[in-house]
A = this chain, B = another copy of it.
């Protein structure tokens, strides 16, 4: 085991799920040590919570600028910073840390404005910094199995991918005034899209991740069924990918009956996959003309990409925290390779980068345009 890398977190204050998730994810494999943080928008709470989480007094910062300054000049400066602040601040913080040469892991969506995302991609490229966006579901072993199978040609050409993120999260009309819900459908706060931009991009990224393709053009239909909503609570996007695959993306906040609703189906010339996040330890694989197989996470016969993303014995459920931790492990491997002057194994670069984050934003903006213009086909990028 190599020396632990130093890791810093911005956002993720007390009581937040996202902070908890990142801390488990980063520390789970012992690759990262939680070394610095600016966890709360209130400086005092930020410092106190940081100390309570075990940060050294001088690295429990009051805000991210203080943290940037101090860390920039330390010898043991953090090797990776995670940006888990409100969406509209992602750009400024990520840009500032990149500019100072830090590797950055940003929450999704990468930015709220499209041009900002392009700037980040460019900056990361110029600075040659490791960059990642949290499409955490891509860390599931069986999602990686699908991708590996596609890469090895086991499906032949992928003809159709159907991705969905459809649950009943925003189905309760009585919830419409709940502040936790309302802002999501308010263009001033949420931007151009609600469920597509928030949930749909996870499913879209998975479609890209598994097929290894990007979207070239799309036709979208957005609808809003709960009174008073200005942004969509259900959408369907048909698209074409650069490898010739036909895509469908269904996003819904009205789909009562699914606790979560992220699901993907991939159909190639030689077989089809079906997987859903709610029962992530089983993958349905149907070779053309043969019975469906239930592939179990951790079982023998999976590809190395899936094996290395598994941690516990077959049959024991692994959940989202371990899946998410795989992104940190990959990031850790990559950063360690860089520090050692080694090439990192391409397999470890499976984590989604800023470019993937930008692509999902491109997609959302194009979908919004198409939906506004009678579902006409719109080119991307």
**Bitwise interface map of A from 302 to 345 toward B, beta carbon under 8 Å scored 1, else 0:** 00000000011111111111100000000000000000000000
Name the residue of chain B whose CB is nearest to the CB of A167.
B315
Cβ–Cβ < 8 Å partners of A315 in chain B = 167, 258-261, 277-278
Instruction: Mark the stretch among A58-66, A72-80, A372-380 that contacts chain B.
Output: A372-380
Tell yes or no: A131 within 8 A of B by CB.
no
Cβ–Cβ < 8 Å partners of A284 in chain B = 257
Cβ–Cβ < 8 Å partners of A261 in chain B = 315
Name the residue of chain B whose CB is nearest to the CB of A49.
B1
Tell yes or no: A299 within 8 A of B by CB.
yes
Cβ–Cβ < 8 Å partners of A1 in chain B = 52-53
Give the contact-size bracket for chain A.
35 or more
Cβ–Cβ < 8 Å partners of A280 in chain B = 317
Cβ–Cβ < 8 Å partners of A89 in chain B = none
Shortest C-beta distance, A239 to chain B (Å), equals 9
- In the assembled complex, 26 residue pairs joining A and B whose CB atoms fall closer than 8 Å, in A order, are A160-B223, A160-B225, A160-B234, A171-B272, A172-B288, A172-B289, A219-B375, A221-B238, A225-B246, A236-B236, A252-B267, A255-B265, A256-B268, A256-B288, A258-B315, A259-B314, A277-B317, A278-B281, A281-B317, A290-B293, A292-B294, A312-B320, A318-B320, A321-B322, A374-B376, A375-B376
